[in-house]
Amino acid sequence: MKKKLLLFILSVLFISAFALNFYNPLGPSLLPAAGLYIEPIEGLETKFWRSLDEAQTLVIKEQADFIVLPVAFGVQLMNRDVNYKLAGVSLWKTFSLISSKDVKSIEDLEGKTIYTIQGPGQTADLVLKILKEERNLDVNIHYITNGADIIQLLASGKADYAVLPEPFASLAEVKTQGNVKVVMDIEQLYSQLTNLQPIIPITGLFVRGDIEHNEAKKVIDAYSNSANLFFNNYNNEAIEYVVETMGGKMPKPVMQKAAERSIIKYDVDKETINSFLEVIKNYGIIDKIPENLYY
């Protein structure tokens, strides 16, 4: 009896000391984390979140130890006094303006309706709002709940312009047999409008603030290695894992092109991140920049 009790106590201690969880969106932003999910470190349970509402609940209730979020969305949650810090950013480029029409300059968008995915702090929405204000363009932004529906509108000719992240931009080219194509790099447009670098901190890793530092560092280092080493050295395996995890919804050639068009690199480029946050604060996307932002 005493032996069983001792084993039980030891098992509880082991779990409390080592059982941590890691949440990533179920989708293309899984590419930087693929190595961590394929070969998870001991004591780390890898999970997925499937909607921003679910992610918000995980953060507000502090149920996630480590969670990958859109940077603007995560920072705004931090402004609600949740106990999380930004460890670093892994996705810096993934959005494109796609169209069945010729677009040679920003001015060609005057009077046009541009479709994009609805979501708080969504990168495309931010850049389009800056475009309207800075260039005084009459652009109608139309929000749709998901990228697949926007692709259907483009394929049927009911929409001519959209700003989509990868892999939806590449999928749109395939679904429309090349009738719709990438006509503008959104990160380059952001650079033109803000005079900042043509990269945007899109998704980042947030860490619950009370995680023991050495344990947190192990996970952060593993995520960094996944994005910077595994993704580059085992690119095909990373892509295959994401395709399989998404249930084949994205064909492998589409995901390959999406990966090529994205900038995937784990980094803590505070200057670039802070400049971006200053821009989105000025446009009301976030209320403020948290004082203790970084892990």
Tell me the per-residue pLDDT of 122-179, one tens digit each, with 9 for 90 and over. 788 889 989 998 899 999 999 998 899 999 999 999 999 999 999 999 999 999 999 9
- How many of the other CB atoms lie within 10 Å of CB of 213? 9
Q: What residue type is 203 in one-letter code?
A: T
For residues 111 and 133, state if they share a domain: yes
Q: Is the model's pLDDT at 120 over the cut of 70?
A: no
For residues 73 and 158, state if they share a domain: no
Total number of domains in the chain: 2
Helix-strand-coil split of the chain, %, nearest 5: 50, 20, 30
Residue 292, in any domain of the structure: no
Are 252 and 239 spatial neighbours (Cβ–Cβ below 8 Å)?
yes
Q: Minimal CA–CA distance to 171: which of 261, 260, 258?
A: 258
Are 64 and 186 spatial neighbours (Cβ–Cβ below 8 Å)?
no
b/e sequence 81-101, b meaning 16+ C-beta within 10 Å:
ebebbbbbbbbbbbbbbbbbe
Averaged pLDDT, 204-217: 97
Q: What is the pLDDT of residue 249?
A: 86
For residues 190 and 212, state if they share a domain: no
For residues 100 and 244, state if they share a domain: no
Residue 186, in any domain of the structure: yes
For residues 137 and 268, state if they share a domain: no
For residues 68 and 210, state if they share a domain: yes
170, 194, 218 - which closes a domain? 194
For residues 107 and 169, state if they share a domain: yes
Q: Is the model's pLDDT at 6 over the cut of 90?
A: no
For residues 45 and 34, state if they share a domain: yes
CATH of the domain at 259: 3.40.190.10
146-150, 234-238, 264-268: the lowest-pLDDT one: 146-150
Tokens in use for 82? Answer: 């949740």
Averaged pLDDT, 35-63: 96
Q: Which residues pair with 117 in a beta bridge?
A: 144
Residue 65, in any domain of the structure: yes
For residues 129 and 185, state if they share a domain: yes
Q: What is the pLDDT of residue 4?
A: 44
Averaged pLDDT, 272-276: 98
Q: Is the model's pLDDT at 3 over the cut of 70?
A: no
Residue 9, in any domain of the structure: no
Q: Is the model's pLDDT at 10 over the cut of 50?
A: no
Q: What is the pLDDT of residue 18?
A: 54
81: left (phi over 0), alpha (psi -120 to 50) or beta: left
Strand order across the beta sheet in which 95-99 lies: 140-144, 113-117, 161-165, 95-99, 181-185
For residues 73 and 207, state if they share a domain: yes
* pTM of the model as a whole: 0.90
Q: Which residue bears the tokens 């679904």?
A: 175
Averaged pLDDT, 44-63: 96
Find the domain containing 80 and state its range. Answer: 24-93+202-282
Residue 2, in any domain of the structure: no
Q: Minimal CA–CA distance to 232: which of 269, 262, 274?
A: 262
10-14, 144-148, 170-174, 242-246: the lowest-pLDDT one: 10-14
161, 194, 227 - which closes a domain? 194
Q: Is the model's pLDDT at 207 over the cut of 60?
A: yes
Residue 15, in any domain of the structure: no
Name the pLDDT band for 276 (thresholds 50, 70, 90).
very high
Residue 293, in any domain of the structure: no
Residue 69, in any domain of the structure: yes
Averaged pLDDT, 18-42: 92
For residues 107 and 172, state if they share a domain: yes
For residues 218 and 161, state if they share a domain: no
146, 176, 194 - which closes a domain? 194
Q: What is the pLDDT of residue 123?
A: 86
Q: Is the model's pLDDT at 12 over the cut of 50?
A: no
Averaged pLDDT, 20-38: 94
Q: Is the model's pLDDT at 14 over the cut of 70?
A: no
Q: Is the model's pLDDT at 293 over the cut of 80?
A: yes
Pick the more confident residue, 222 or 133.
222
Name the pLDDT band for 121 (thresholds 50, 70, 90).
low
